[in-house]
């Protein structure tokens, strides 16, 4: 087998992502690598956090970039927030709602599905009916912008319904972050994940994640700690994340989101 040099053609990417990468990000990729214990690296990570808080419109101290794609951000939220035996209401109006269901079931919890026609937004009336029918539910999970069809759901209304019924929210913002308004604090969303390769115009491989104090409290008090996947220790805050990340080979990815 002959391995030749791969020189990709110049394309204009018109899909929902991967999108064309900003020249500033490409420039950052060409910078020398620095060690993950370098004081400059530590300062850069603080900037990454501040920039992600801005993108999410949140003051959540627990706002990080998981060093893996959007699917890992999804897993991070589910494995840290869902305990075996819990009931989770999952909205499914396209491909990614069904991925949420799989995550719930792999966590040993029960997924109550609220189905809407593909291409239509999640119907708040159906969600309210499911919340009324399942007072034992602890979490409502939905996709803000369903990439498979382009349908945008009303995250603010869905989150308000969840709160009225004592549920936390897990929100997929992979295609919405940076593309449409997403006001994490104002709408009181609890666990939100995204991906770097969509509206953020970055390369794939990082998943911005933010947890509200309610979400942090739930993971910290979980009777059964999750045993696998992207387990994080949000209870100890971003300083601990920084220490953990500094000890991890995955940390290098952070350099991508802090272009010069």
Interface contacts to ligand PLP, rule CB under 6 A? 69-71, 74, 96, 143, 147, 172, 174-175, 195, 204
Residue whose token pair is 């399942």: 134
> Between 70 and 179, whose beta carbon lies closer to ligand PLP?
70
Listed residue (89, 86, 82) closest to 116, CA to CA? 89
Listed residue (186, 193, 187) closest to 76, CA to CA? 193
**Assign residue 108 a region: left if phi > 0, alpha if psi is -120 to 50, beta otherwise?**
left
Which residue minimizes CB distance to ligand PLP?
70
Q: How far is the CB of 173 from ligand PLP (least distance, A)?
A: 8
Q: How far is the CB of 90 from ligand PLP (least distance, A)?
A: 13
> How far apart are the two ends of the chain, measured CA to CA in Å?
39
Cis amide linkage into residue 18, ω under 30° from 0: yes
Strands 137-143 and 168-172: parallel
> Between 63 and 175, whose beta carbon lies closer to ligand PLP?
175
> Between 153 and 255, whose beta carbon lies closer to ligand PLP?
153
Q: How far is the CB of 166 from ligand PLP (least distance, A)?
A: 26
Q: How far is the CB of 96 from ligand PLP (least distance, A)?
A: 4
> Between 194 and 251, whose beta carbon lies closer to ligand PLP?
194
Q: Look at residue 101 and give its three-state secondary structure.
A: helix
């Amino acid at each position: 087998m002959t391995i030749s040099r791969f020189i990709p053609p110049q394309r204009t990417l018109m899909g929902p992502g991967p999108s064309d990468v900003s020249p500033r990000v490409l420039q950052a990729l060409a910078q020398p690598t620095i060690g993950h214990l370098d004081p400059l690296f530590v300062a850069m990570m603080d900037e990454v956090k501040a920039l992600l808080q801005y993108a999410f419109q949140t003051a959540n101290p627990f706002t990080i970039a998981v060093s893996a794609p959007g699917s890992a951000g999804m897993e991070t939220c589910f494995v840290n927030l869902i305990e075996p035996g819990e009931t989770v209401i999952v909205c499914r109006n396209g491909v990614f709602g069904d991925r949420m269901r799989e995550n719930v079931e792999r966590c040993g919890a029960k997924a109550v599905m609220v189905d809407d026609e593909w291409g239509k937004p999640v119907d708040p009336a159906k969600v309210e009916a499911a919340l009324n029918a399942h007072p034992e539910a602890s979490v409502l999970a939905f996709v803000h912008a369903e990439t498979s069809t382009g349908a945008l759901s009303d995250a603010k209304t869905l989150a308000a319904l969840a709160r009225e019924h004592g549920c936390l929210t897990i929100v997929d913002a992979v295609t919405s972050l940076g593309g449409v308004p997403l006001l994490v604090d104002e709408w009181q969303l609890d666990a939100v994940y995204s991906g770097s390769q969509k509206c953020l115009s970055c390369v794939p491989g990082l998943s911005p994640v933010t947890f509200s104090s309610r979400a942090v409290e739930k993971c910290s008090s979980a009777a059964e700690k999750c045993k696998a996947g992207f387990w994080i220790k949000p209870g100890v805050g971003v300083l601990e994340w920084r220490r953990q990340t500094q000890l991890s080979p995955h940390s290098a990815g952070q350099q991508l989101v802090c272009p010069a």
